[in-house]
Amino acid sequence: MADLEVASRIRLLDATFNSITRAQAASLVDEWVAKRDRPRIVTVRDAALTMRTRDEPALASFYEGVDLVLVDGRGLYYASKMLGSPLPEMVGGPGLYYELLRRSDRNGYKAFLLGARQPVVDAAAANIRARHPGVKLVGVENGYYKDDEIPAILGRIKSALPALVFVGTTPPRREVLLAAIRDAKIPCVAMGIGGLFDVEAGMARHAPEWIARSGFEWLYRGLQEPTRLLPRYFSTHPRFVLLLLRELVLGARGR
């Protein structure tokens, strides 16, 4: 499976994704943890972030250079089917995160948590310890740091020797930190998980399955943080629909 992440890369709406299942992605992470030969960066990207990377070259460059980019959100999953490059499943950031915690519990992996406010990430850590006692949390830090504090954060991560680093900050700060971990050559698997510490701590909730299947999980999430998320979603999702329609029309003309 060593080259699966390379062989499975596809282009979808001018962006690169890995067309693999959640189980395959988690097994790749197991392999990387066993090797610990170099940093590995795992990311997920939804429709909103896909559109944002079209406007920000630095973000686009970052996502072209990571080890795994997985689809998060039904919009991109359904788009892959409509455009003739069907993904095997909607891997999703939460799904992979919870699977990695289960495997960490079973295998005794060390994990470092970074993101959210300190009370939130502390509550998330407490819930992880209660649910997965086999996970060894070797660092729990908030995501409210300044750029000049990143070297110190990298030093603490390197000293803690985690197998997994979960980064729960927002773009582009998340991508800057993930790139810094890669550039510092810290031998771990670092994954961006968005706002999952809020969910882990009980401050936010996942959408019910019927809403997730309908493709409106983004709206459910946005209504929980309307001031921060809804303006972003309402600026990116109409553009996403227009881009998808354009690709469908061009594809039909090509056929």
pLDDT of residue 181: 98
Q: Which residues contact 94 (CB under 8 A, 6 or more apart)?
A: 193, 196, 199, 206
Domain-located, residue 219: no
> How far apart are the C-alpha atoms of 186 and 14, rounded to whole Å?
30
The mean-pLDDT minimum among 14-18, 112-116, 120-124, 248-252 falls in 248-252
pLDDT of residue 75: 87
Domain-located, residue 213: no
Helix (H, G, I), strand (E, B) or coil at 11: strand
Q: β-strand 136-141 against 164-168: which pairing, if any? A: unpaired
Residue from 86, 68, 66 nearest 76 by CA: 86
Tally of domains within the chain: 1
Q: Calculate what percentage of the chain has a pLDDT beyond 90.
A: 63
In contact, 2 and 24? CB cutoff 8 Å: no
Interval 130-158 mean pLDDT: 97
CA distances from 18 to 66, 91, 185, 249 (A): 11, 10, 23, 24
Q: What is the pLDDT of residues 11-22, one digit of tens each?
A: 998 889 999 999
Query: Domain of 37?
Result: 4-200
Give the residues across from 191 on adjacent strands.
Answer: 42, 166
Domain-located, residue 137: yes
Q: What is the pLDDT of residues 54-109, one digit of tens each?
A: 999 999 999 999 999 999 888 899 999 999 888 998 888 889 999 999 999 999 99
Domain-located, residue 155: yes
Give the residues across from 40 on adjacent strands.
Answer: 189
Under the banding of pLDDT at 50, 70 and 90, the label for residue 4 is low
Under the banding of pLDDT at 50, 70 and 90, the label for residue 254 is low
Q: What pTM did the predictor assign?
A: 0.89
Phi, psi of 12 (to 5 degrees): -140, 115
> How far apart are the C-alpha atoms of 94 and 79, rounded to whole Å?
20
CATH code, domain with 117: 3.40.50.10700
Domain-located, residue 97: yes
Domain-located, residue 209: no
